[in-house]
Amino acid sequence: MKLSILIPVYNEAGTIAAVVEQVRAVPLDCEVIAIDDCSADGSGDVLEGLLKSRRIHRLVRHPVNRGKGAAIRSGITEASGDVIVIQDADLEYDPADLPALLKPIKDGRADAVYGSRFQGGPHRVLYFWHMVGNSLLTLMSNMFTNLNLTDMETCYKLVKADLMKRLPLTANRFGIEVELTARLSQAGARIWELPISYSGRTYAEGKKITWKDGAAALWHIIRYNLAPPGGDWRKPR
């Protein structure tokens, strides 16, 4: 089973090469697709070097900054694997967790697997209010989707490629996490959740999520759950 690993990159010149090496060390059949979302810190040059040295398989370049959701959507279009996963470029998530996350899909028990930062895996101790915010957003999402997730906002969402590619995703920025969860629920996907390790960053270390993104996510939860698009995208092909 081939895993397509999508790495959206925006101003991560200091970490992207290390992330790629961690990904390549995972004992899985993988393709690595990086999406440079118009970085201004030299990340694009680093990625070009990784492409030339064949450390990544494909590189997508956005001429203007469009956001994480748009980068993920560009990567989905390029993916050729059986399963797709998003990998942040900031060293917060450990690719060593990917084989365990892939197993329920390999075994035919799941269509999607979420890696939860709140199910007891090892993690760096950081911000209390971030934890509260994540819990609130997950609770609100669960109320609309009728899922019992513990970490809706996790980066690690592994989804079967045929399902991922037919989801009508439109979010350009961090709302992609909410939209993807809503669409998986609406499609009747079998979702599993497993614990992962997590090494969160401080703002001084480059963390980009702010309270404004959390406020926007509340609106996205209502928007994407109450107004799903029409069409036959829910039906398996």
User: What are the tens digits of pLDDT across the range 33-73?
Assistant: 999 999 999 999 999 999 999 999 999 999 999 999 999 99
| Contact (CB, 8 A) for 61 and 45 | no
User: Does position 124 have pLDDT exceeding 70, yes or no?
Assistant: no
The answer as to CATH 3.90.550.10 being correct for domain 2-226 is: yes
Residue range 134-146, pLDDT digits in tens? 889 999 999 999 9
Decide the pairing of beta strands 58-61 and 29-36.
parallel
DSSP-assigned letter for residue 37: -
Q: In this predicted structure, what is the pLDDT of residue 49?
A: 98
Q: In this predicted structure, what is the pLDDT of residue 122?
A: 61
Across 80-146, where does the E strand assignment appear? 83-86, 112-116
In sequence order, which residues have a C-beta less than 8 Å from that of residue 18 and are 6 or more positions away?
A: 91
Residue range 168-222, pLDDT digits in tens? 999 998 899 999 999 999 999 999 999 999 876 454 554 556 657 667 888 889 9
How confident is the model over 112-133, as a mean pLDDT? 75
Domain boundaries, the chain: 2-226
Alpha helices for 2-67 (secondary structure H): 16-24, 43-52
Q: Output 230 or 50, whichever has higher pLDDT.
A: 50
Q: In this predicted structure, what is the pLDDT of residue 201?
A: 47
